[in-house]
Structure 1
Amino acid sequence: MKQKNILVVDDEAHIRELLRYNLENSGYVVEEAESGEDALQKIGEQTFDLVLLDVMLPGIDGLEVLRKIRQENDQRNLPVILLTAKGEEIDKVVGLELGADDYIAKPFGIYELQARIKTVFRRLEAYEVKEQPQEESIKINDLIINKSQYLVDKKGKSITLTHKEFELLYLLARHPGRVFNREFLLETIWGYEYIGESRTIDVHIRNIRKKLEGDYIATIRGVGYKFADEG
């Protein structure tokens, strides 16, 4: 899986260093910018997956940087999390109105920040998956999965699945070989965060396997599941 590239924008060197250290230890690639001008230049020259943007910057402030990203830059859909000083309620409101994906107030805990980053990435991934054209019928090996009729056929035999089981199978089958983690599957299929209940996915996968009588769905230990593209 491709590493996510994050741009950290803050005029305080010790904050940039702290964020770089923790984010790189979490598997992200990190670039730094110490001003709004520097950030806009780097965004224009490189491709980033997310920007951590301090509001209080010298010269062009964070809100203006955000405005330029959303209005003028080729990366106008680039996810942005604002870093705001505690109590700057007006900046949070304006930032969200300008299109910030989230904000977090300083001082913040690194675990909270990492959780916010993961949530933004999951939300973006869910949006991209939902926006892809849905095929009415998917045929993989001996399976036919008919979305319009919510029917699954295996070698001419109809397989009865519950609504959630079907949605889960259909999502995995649309992306054979792609690994989805449990949290993403929960948010996408159930429509909200099922915090602490990732066993729900395991139970549904087990039921699907039993009904299909084949190893269509592979477990990626410690991560999640993928459609194995073979029965």
Structure 2
Amino acid sequence: MAQQILIVEDEPSIAELIAVNLTHAGYIVSRAMQSDEAISMLATQVPDLIVLDWMLPGKSGVQLAKELRANENYSGIPILMLTAKGEEADKVAGLDAGADDYVTKPFSPKELIARVKALLRRYSATPEEGPLVVGPMSLDAVTHRISVNWPDQEMKNLSLGPTEFRLLNFLMANPERVHSRANLLDHVWGNEAYIEERTVDVHVKRLRAALAPFGCDQFIETVRGSGYRITKTPLSQ
């Protein structure tokens, strides 16, 4: 069955260019010109991926991305952000908002399709069976669920975006090992040449922010000059 992609873009010519190329690549495409229209469409059909423009009339693409990541019904949808902003700080802002990847305008249709395919491959990969446990956290890659169960406390469920889920999954599958940014790119992002190492820092920051309300951010440690690891015995515990 063909995968479905929602394009949220207010410039008709760009939306048409994207839609034509995605359709030729075998995807089923739907379009929205504003954030509110996109939200209404999501209520009836959840796509496999969203191509989201940064600059939209009314509610911006960045605001929409944040809302989607905060909604458990849509938090698992990969988001490819379109932006005319090419500076590193702007790219980081897009990733901070919840985007999984970005394309800077003007872009080539071939690059766009390559990024879409890479994102969909990344999130449609068959998960390993069996829950992973580190500290109070239990992650089940098959059901895509994470629970936090501290002693003498009620078990709580944790919702993560797709990239943060894969990042936590990989770290929990390899506890105590230090992973360089390049190594994390290879294993979590699928060794995609389009992704910069700075992206890893952004997603680690997002992962820690999501874990913090559950008291679990301390398990993700930065090893200066080397990378990141997840530990079963955090120093601040």
What residue ranges of structure 2 are gaps of 5+ in the alignment? 132-185, 194-237
Residue number in structure 2 paired with 1:79 = 78
Structure 1 contact 83–103 (Cα < 8 Å) conserved: yes
Q: Which has the larger radius of gyration?
A: 1
1:85 touches 1:106 (CA, 8 Å); kept in 2?
yes
TM-score of the two chains, using structure 2 as the length reference: 0.54
Distance 1:20 1:194 in 2: 23
CA distance in 1, matches of 2:90, 2:61: 10
Deviation per CA, 1:108-127, whole angstroms, max 9, x where unpaired?
A: 0000011101111111123x
Work out the CA distance in 2 between the residues paired with 1:192 and 1:3: 22
Name the residue aligned to 2:28: 29
One-letter amino acid of the counterpart of residue 36, structure 1: S
Structure 1 stretches of 4+ moved >6 Å: none
Distance in 2 (alpha carbons) for counterparts of 1:121 and 1:30: 14
Choose between structure 1 and 2 for higher RCO, CA contacts under 8 A separated by at least 6 residues: 2
Q: Report the CA distance shift for 1:116/1:194 in structure 2 as closer, same or farther (over 3 A).
A: closer
Q: In structure 2, do the counterparts of structure 1 residues 88 and 58 end up closer, same or farther at CA, with 3 Å as the change threshold?
A: farther
- 1:40 aligned to 2:39? yes
Is contact 1:86–1:107 with CA below 8 Å preserved after alignment?
no
Partner of residue 112, structure 2: 113
Runs of 5+ in structure 1 lacking a partner? 135-186, 196-231
Amino acid at match of 1:130: P
Shift in Å, 1:130? 2.6
- Say whether the 8 Å CA contact 2:122–2:190 is kept in structure 1: no
- The Cα shift of 1:192 comes to 5.0
Residue deviations 1:111-162 (CA, integer Å, cap 9, x gap): 0011101111111123xx234339xxxxxxxxxxxxxxxxxxxxxxxxxxxx
* Matches of 1:65 and 1:3, distance apart in 2: 25
SS in 1 for 2:43: helix
SS in 1 for 2:127: helix
- What is the aligned partner in structure 1 of residue 93 from structure 2? 94
- Cα RMSD of the aligned pairs, angstroms, is 2.3
Q: How many residues align?
A: 138
